[in-house]
Structure formats: structure tokens, C-alpha cells
Chains A and B, each alone.
Chain A
Amino acid sequence: MRPGRTSQAMALASVVALASLTACSSSPASGHSGKLTLSVVSLLPGSEKAAFDTFNARVAAFEKANPTIDVQPHEYKWEATTFASQLAGGTLPDVFEIPLTDAGTLIANGQLADLNDQFQKLPYAGQFNQNLLDKGKGQNGHVYAIPAKSIYGVALHYNRALFQQAGLDPDKPPTTWDEVRADAKAIKDKTGVAGYAMMASGATGGWQLTAAMYSRGGQVQQVQKDGSYKSTLDNDAARKQLEWLKAMRWQDNSVLADTTLAWDTINQAFAAGQVGMYTSGSDVYSSLVETLGVTGKDYGLTALPLEGPGAGVLVGGTLAAVGAKADKATKDAAMKWIDFYYLQNLVDENQAVENAKVRAENKQAVGTPVLPIFSREQYQQSLKWIQSYINVPLDHMKGYTDVMFDQPIVGEPTRATQEIYTLLSTPVQAVLSDRNADVGKLLTTANTQAQALLAHG
């Protein structure tokens, strides 16, 4: 059958339609009428309206001071599973946040912009804590990522109301792991609520097990003389901590039996009064207020128990960075934003007061204890500036604030950090879900796998 005119016309129409479709998809984005648009990360998705009001007020103040920059906020939650593809796909905002541990590899991969020129123009560029700043430097000594937001030490968060109901003194929180266990059991026995919970999902279980391991003097990896890395997961500290957790789960029944808890879901469980105690970064109170409306009345914060020689507190934090493809104008604007939003609160009295005032007016946390990005003196000075706006329950945090500068600190593992955290989550999940879990075998397996990762480089 020969094709008729109609079918030929339809075929032509198909080609035209396809060509139009292609043309549409490749049309360039519209311009920005003289203003530079800078996309930045804002708050966690689902944050309270008051938190967004606070953030938007800061954006308005920045745009007023920088009329040629149009700031576009994007809600953001850093997740290991999406970050790499977002970065590779160019879908992250211009200014984004990364964990301290990731900067070195991202810089080596050429995935972050060199911000050295912009950074060196900051009047306080020389005042940073050098150990922290080094995390964001490349092999060439240039600054690619800047310590920002907060630096935390892992601490113990507890529900004061549950302590009281269980007949415990909320002003005398536990100072040893045995006391944590005893208090957790008392809470469970007296109130029926789980006395303790632990993150276990994804990499978070391994992150918190590492923190506990450090607190008992253990190490995750060691650098050998030849520069190679040796995995040391199968250590006494890890074994003790897992046996401790297993006993709480299967002998005391005082642990929340949920192996799917992650950073955000354990916060939810705590805010809902379903958990007596849990470990997380010392700065988590700000998120509890920002996303879950916690008021602080029943909130308590104390230091992680440190036991044995070499014990220390795991320290982590956040760096602000820009994608490698950013042009100079974007990098200039990005540095202005990083300076304004993250850092001036710590070094400039006017900005510190202005920021604290807006946050306090919107009932957001002011004065949450964190570790200093600059120096201890600078940190304490910045707290004095905002003294009248501090609204976090500092009296409930004395167990942490009294010792936060005295506790030895240990950085996160430097090699294959997130992968090793993920490996370590398996033993955590196992002891929480299997009463016959063999801790020694689990750690040996994790250690073998971690060593393979370290050898792989």
C-alpha cells in the first residue's frame, strides 16, 4: 500500500513536533535583569514557620546590604544518598553545606570551587581555628570550604521530665556508661518509656557507635608509618559498648527497639517523649526547636561519659562550600553570604545582636552550646554580646557546658568515613534485633570489610 497524502502529512507533523520538543528543551534560561541570583541552602524541610520567618528576615537584611544580589533560599537536608548525585548533577544551590569529613575528598575530586581569593579578603581570615580551617583546604593550601554553621561535640541529650517521673534527679545526669544504663532501666521500669535510644539506620548507627567507641578510648583506624591505614574496629571499646547496648536491649529492655532510627527520626521520638536519653551532636537543640517546636522545659544536655585511657569526644561539624563550576561573580556573592549568614554572628557585635534579636523574636534557639570556629575567647565574647537574647535553657545544659572545653576532642575518621560508619551500623542493628548476636564476630566482619575499603583507598 502506498502512503497517502494524509499519512505523509502526519509523518511530517510528527517530525515537526519532535523538533519543537527538542527546541523547547534546549531553550536557554531567562536572564536575571542585572541582579545576580544566588541560591543558598536555608533550613531543614518541614521546619517551623517561625524558623523560616527568621531566615527570611536575614535574607532581607542581606539583600538590603547587597542590592545587586538576589538570594534564593532552598530547603536542604544533607543526605549521603543524594548528595553525590546532586553535586555531580549540578542541582545543589550555589552555597551548600557539607560535613567536615567530606571536604578533603571533594576538593581532591575537583568538585568544589577555589574560594581562596574571596576568603583571604575577610578581615578575620587569620583568626580561624587552624585545625578546622585545614579541613577545608586543598593540597595547594587554598581554601575551598569554610567552617560555618556549627562545630559540635557528641553529647548526651535527656528528657528531664522522664528523669523526674522515674525518681531521678534531672540536675544530676549520668556521668558513666553504667549510670546511663541504670538510669535508662529506672525510666523504663517507672514510666514504661524507653530509657535510651540509639540511631541505627544508614551511616548514623556507625557514627554514634564511633562516638561511644571514642568515649571508651577506642579508635576506628590508625595511620601506619608507611602512610597506609589500618582498620581497628575490632577493639575492646567497641566490644564493651555493643555488649552494653545488647544488655540494655535484652536484659533490661530499656532501649527503644527500633533499628530504623536515624538523625531526624530519633529527634522526633525524643521530642515526642518516647525516649529518655540519646546521643547526638551538642547543637541538636537548635534543630529540635526549629523543626519540632521543642520548648526546652524538659530538655537536658550533658557530656558524654569518658572512660579509660585515650577517651575523647567525637567532634564534627559543617563547612560551607560552592560547586566547582561557579563563576567569579557567583563566588564573590557566595562569600558575602557565607560571611553575613554564618560568620559575622561570631565576630561582629552588631551582626551578632541583630541575628540573635531576630531569632529570639521568632522563638528560635539562641545560645545553643557549640564548639568555637575561631577561638574559645572569641566564642565566649560572642555569647556576651547576645547575653540578653539567649533563650536556651542553659541551666539544663550545665552537665555539658561545664566541661565542654575540658574534654579531649577527637576528629572523625579521615578515610572512608561514611562507608565505615555504614559498616558499623550493622553490629548496632544486630544487637538491637537479635538476642544471640555475636558481638565479636560482628566486629571482626566489619573490620575485615573496613580494611578492604581502606586498602582500596
Chain B
Amino acid sequence: MTLDTGPRTRLGTRPRTRSRTGPRPTPRSRRRAAPGGRLRGGGLSTFVFALPLLVIFGVFSWLPIGRALVMSFQKTNLLTSTWVGLDNFRAVLEDPLLMTAIVNTSWFALLALVLGYPVPLIAAVLMSEVRRRKGLYSALAYLPVVVPPVVAVLLWRFFYDARPEGVFNSLLGGIGIGPVPWLQSPTWAMPSLVLEATWAAAGGTMIIYLAALTGVPPELYDAAEVDGASIWRKVFHVTLPHLRGVLLITLILQIIGTSQVFLEPYLFTDGGPADATLTVLLLIYRYAFGQSLGADYGKATALSLMLALFLALLSLVYLRVTRRWSTT
């Protein structure tokens, strides 16, 4: 078996067959149940079992979504509400800060993609090659995920001290670089946020990749070794094709996650300097809670709905486009 034929063929055909045909319907599932038949046939206990989940999910998840939908067509301060039709949507679209927020969010997403997406993958591949104290290294890599996000941001704010005696600037000063105005410059602020966000999240994604890597048959690497493949060829022709499904999922999750970035710009810079890190979610927050009096929940929910709709459409398009590359 050579590297180029065996695994590729298996990876290329099996999933497509599965996705096209799906599980074969059994005669029972095809049969249309008579009224009450489902309940007598076990549906009642299923329903009762699911009831707590449905109630909790309904109260804490669906109800707020429904309420948000209603509020997006209202002018409300939570005490009194009036219907305003599409005014909130119009006001959001006319807000000059919306374009700033969209551009900033896209910039964050792009930087996170370039910087943050490959880092956990590379770390996972390297980690999979480690033979001794693998658990220790994995734990160390995962540690930032365990640190509470607010604590992490406060820690990094300390590191990002713009003065020459700041932690990072001291280190960079040793090699003649800086001082860098990390959070105090419109140019540097966003990359600084992405750097911290990558540090904070990479461990979690790396663990997923590590788990996926255990599913790669070792004999493929052996075969590649026999064929004289270099480490890069092994990575590109064995590892990555096997991670393709996971990579596609983590990519869309990353895009959705970065489109909703809030914590870092809120805690580090509050959207500054001069709106350089104002993101869509921070703008939603400002609409809803930014003013002591003006709490504009209508505009906040209107923009939230627009964002949700955009992400849903993006996900659909993404899944459709990547369907033939997917392994699942």
C-alpha cells in the first residue's frame, strides 16, 4: 500500500456514500403512527423524560430569544414599551459606528484566523510527536483555558504596560525593540487582543486536535516512512487529510466565535483607542447598557438578530461549500 492510494481513497469515498444514503429507514419508523400510538409506544415516557430539559431550555434559552425578537420591534426601557416597526433596524443600519464595528470584527477574525488557527494545530502535531511527559505538556498547554478569562485579561493588561518598564516592553527592550504601545495605539490594539485571545483559547482546540490525531492509523506513517516521506510530507499527506473533518468544524466555530468577540475588547480597551477595537458585540452591549438612561434594548436586540441571521447564513453556505471536503 502506498501513501497516495489507500487512505485517500477510503477518506474520499466512504463519507460521501454515508451522507448521501443515510441510515436506512426501518419499517417501524416509516409507519405512520396512529393518534396516541406514539405515546403508548413509549413516547410518553420519552416526553416526560425530556420535559425538564425542555422547560429549562425553553425558559432560559428559547424564551429570551423570542423576547429579543419582540423587543427588536419595540422602543423599551423594560418598564414601558411601544411598537416602532423597523425603526430599530433602520437606526442600527444608519449608525456610523456599525461599519467601524464590522470592519474591526472582521479584522479581529482575520488576525485570529492567521495567528490563532494554525497555532493549536502545529502545537497538537508537535505534541503528538512527544514521547515523554506528554501529559505534563498537554496540561501546561491547556492551563490558559482553565484560567478565568477576567483574570487572564487583567494579567495581560499588566504585561501590556506601554511604558518601557512594562513586562513585554522590558523583554523586547533587551533585543532593541520597542517600547510598543500595545493597547494605546489604534494600530497595535487589535493584534494585542488577538495575541491574548489565541493564548487563552489555543489549549482547548489543541486538545481536540490531539484527540483526532489518535485516530490516524500509525501504519500510514510507517508506510510513508518506508516510502521515504519527509516529516512535512507526512503531515500534509497523512495527518492533515485525517484531520480534515475536525479542521472544517473548528474553522467554522472559530469564525462564529470571533464574530462574537466581546470579552477582550470590553475588558482591555472598552472599544478604544478611538473605537479601534469596537466590535459588533461591544456595540450591542453599548446600545443595551452603555448609558445610564438610554438603555436602547430595541437597537441592541435588532443588531443581535442581524448578527445571528448573518452567522446562520454564513454557516449554511460554509457547510454547503465544504460538504464535499468533509469527512463526516
- Which residues of A are at the interface with B, using a C-beta cutoff of 8 A? 1-3, 7-8, 10-12, 14-15, 17-18, 78-85, 88-89, 98-99, 102, 105-106, 109-111, 200-202, 257-260, 416, 418-419, 422, 425-427, 429-430, 432-434, 437, 442, 445, 448-449, 456
* Contact A3/B96 with A258-B162, A422-B291 known, Cβ cut-off 8 Å: no
| B80 pairs with A445, CB closer than 8 A | no
The docked-state distance in angstroms from the alpha carbon of A111 to that of B295 is 13
Complexed CA–CA distance, A422 and B79 (Å): 25
Other than the known A11-B48, A15-B48, A259-B184, what 7 A-B pairs have Cβ atoms closer than 8 Å? A78-B292, A84-B289, A84-B293, A109-B80, A257-B181, A259-B269, A429-B272
- CB-CB nearest 10 A-B residue pairs: A433-B273, A11-B48, A430-B274, A84-B295, A259-B273, A88-B78, A3-B45, A429-B273, A80-B292, A429-B274
**B80 smallest CB distance to A (angstroms):** 7
Cβ-defined contact, A88 with B295, below 8 A: yes
Q: A201-B270, A259-B269, A437-B274 are in contact. Are A99 and B292 (CB under 8 A)?
A: yes
Bound form: Cα–Cα A86–B240 in Å = 50
B 266-304 contacts with A by CB, 8 A: 268-270, 272-276, 285-286, 288-295
A456 to B296 alpha-carbon distance, docked (Å): 12
What's the minimum C-beta distance from B113 to chain A, rounded to whole angstroms?
26
A7 to B48, CA, bound (A): 10
User: Which residues on the A side are within 8 Å of B78 (C-beta)?
Assistant: 85, 88-89
Interface size class of B (residues with CB under 8 A): 35 or more
Within the complex, what minimum Cβ distance (angstroms) separates A316 from chain B?
13
Contact B51 A426 (CB under 8 A): no
Q: How far is the CB of A434 from chain B (nearest CB, A)?
A: 6
Task: Give every chain A residue within 8 A of B294 (Cβ-Cβ).
Answer: 84, 416, 418-419
Q: Are B292 and A83 in contact (CB under 8 A)?
A: yes
Docked Cα-Cα span, A425 to B272, in Å, equals 9
Interfacial chain A residues near B290, Cβ < 8 Å: 80-81, 419, 422
B24-64 interface bits toward A, Cβ cutoff 8 Å, 1 = contact, 0 = none: 00000000000000000110110011011001000000000
Q: Given the known A-B contacts A3-B42, A200-B272, A437-B274, are A84 and B291 also in contact in the complex, defined by CB atoms under 8 Å?
A: yes
The reply to whether A418 and B293 contact each other, CB–CB distance below 8 Å, is: yes
Whether a CB of chain A sits under 8 angstroms from the CB of B101 is no
Q: List 11 A-B contacts (CB under 8 A).
A: A8-B45, A14-B49, A15-B52, A85-B288, A102-B292, A111-B77, A201-B272, A257-B162, A259-B273, A430-B273, A433-B276
Check B80–A110 contact: CB distance below 8 A.
yes
B96 & A449 in contact (Cβ 8 Å cutoff): yes
Whether the pair B79, A111 counts as a contact (CB closer than 8 A) is yes
Q: State whether A81 touches B269 (Cβ < 8 A).
A: no
CB contacts (< 8 Å) of B295 on chain A: these are 84-85, 88
Asked if B183 is an interface residue, CB under 8 A from chain A, the answer is: yes
Other-chain contact of B49, A10, A109, A437 (Cβ < 8 Å): A10
Q: How far is the CB of B272 from chain A (nearest CB, A)?
A: 5
Contacts of A85 in B (CB 8 A): 78, 288-289, 295
Least Cβ–Cβ distance between A150 and chain B, in angstroms: 19
Quote the shortest CB–CB distance from A426 to chain B (angstroms). 5
**Chain A residues with CB below 8 A from B285, complex form:** 81
Q: Does B241 contact A (CB under 8 A)?
A: no
Min CB distance, A22 to chain B, in Å?
Answer: 8
Q: Is the CB of A434 within 8 A of B274?
A: yes
Contact of B292 among A10, A84, A258, A259 (CB under 8 A): A84
Residue numbers in A under 8 Å from B288 (CB-CB): 85
Check: B149 CB closer than 8 A to any chain A CB.
no
| Contact partners of A8 in chain B: CB under 8 A | 45
Q: Is B144 an interface residue (CB 8 A)?
A: no
With both chains docked as a complex, state the minimum distance between the C-beta of A400 and any C-beta of chain B, in angstroms: 28
Chain A residues with CB under 8 Å of B52's CB are 14-15, 17-18
Contact of B293 with A260 in the complex, beta carbons under 8 Å: no
Which residues from B are CB-within-8-Å of A12? 48
Q: Do A81 and B289 touch (CB < 8 A)?
A: yes
* Known A15-B48, A18-B51; contact A419-B291, beta-carbon cutoff 8 A: yes
* Nearest Cβ on chain A to B303's Cβ, whole angstroms: 16
Is residue B245 within 8 Å, beta carbon to beta carbon, of the partner chain? no
Which one of A7, A102, A427 lies within 8 Å of B293 (CB-CB)?
A102
Contact of B79 among A88, A257, A259, A425 (CB under 8 A): A88
Contact of A257 among B184, B276, B293 (CB under 8 A): B184
Most chain-A CB neighbours within 10 Å: which of B78, B185, B268, B272? B272
B186 at the interface (CB under 8 A from A): yes
Contacts of B276 in A (CB 8 A): 433
Residues of B within 8 Å of A258, CB to CB, are 162, 184
Q: How far is the CB of A12 from chain B (nearest CB, A)?
A: 7
Which residues from B are CB-within-8-Å of A257? 162, 181, 184
